[in-house]
Amino acid sequence: MKEKILELKGIKKSYPSGTLLMKRTEVLKEINMNVFKGEIYSLLGHNGAGKTTTFKIITGISKQDEGNILFKGKRFSLKDKKQIGFLPERPYFYEYLTGREFLEFSANLFGIKADKKKIDALLELVELKEAQNLQLKKYSKGMLQRLGVAQSIINDPELIILDEPLSGLDPIGRKKLRDLIVSLKEEGRTIIYSSHILQDAEIISDRIGIIVKGKTIMEGSLEELVSGEVREVEVGICGLRSLPEEINYLKSEKKANVFYVTVKDIDGANILIKKVMDSGGKIKFCNPIRKSLEELFWEIRDENIGDS
The residue ranges that bind Mg ion (CB under 5 A) are 51-52, 89
Asked if 153 and 85 count as a contact pair (C-beta separation under 8 A), the reply is: yes
User: Does residue 169 touch ligand ADP according to CB under 6 A?
Assistant: no
**Touching ligand ADP, residues 5-24 (CB under 6 A):** 15
The option from Mg ion, ligand ADP, none interacting with 145 (CB < 5 to 8 A, set by class) reads none
H or E element that contains 274: helix 266-278
The option from ligand ADP, Mg ion, none interacting with 168 (CB < 5 to 8 A, set by class) reads none
The option from ligand ADP, Mg ion, none interacting with 45 (CB < 5 to 8 A, set by class) reads ligand ADP
- Among 40, 41, 42, 51, the residue binding ligand ADP under the rule CB under 6 A is 51
Q: Is 144 exposed, middle or buried (0-12, 13-18, 19+ CB in 10 A)?
A: buried
CA–CA gap between residue 227 and residue 129 (Å, rounded): 41
47-55, 63-71, 181-189, 218-226 -> range binding ligand ADP (CB under 6 A)? 47-55
Closest CA to 215 of 308, 293, 89: 308
Please calculate the CA angle 286-291-295 and round it to the nearest 5 degrees. Answer: 150
Asked if 212 and 302 count as a contact pair (C-beta separation under 8 A), the reply is: no
Q: What is the closest distance, in whole angstroms, from the C-beta atom of residue 79 to Mg ion in the complex?
A: 27
**Residues paired with 4 in a beta bridge:** 36
Binding mask 173-212 vs ligand ADP (x if CB under 6 A, - otherwise)? ----------------------------------------
Q: What is the closest distance, in whole angstroms, from the C-beta atom of residue 164 to Mg ion in the complex?
A: 6
The option from Mg ion, ligand ADP, none interacting with 36 (CB < 5 to 8 A, set by class) reads none
CA–CA gap between residue 18 and residue 25 (Å, rounded): 9
- Among 5, 6, 11, 27, the residue binding ligand ADP under the rule CB under 6 A is 27
46-54, 64-72, 119-127, 185-193 -> range binding ligand ADP (CB under 6 A)? 46-54
**Residues paired with 219 in a beta bridge:** 209
User: Among residues 58 and 233, whose Cβ is nearest to ligand ADP?
Assistant: 58
Residues 6+ apart with CB under 8 A from 180: 125, 126, 127, 146, 149
Binding site for ligand ADP (CB under 6 A): 15, 27, 45, 47-53
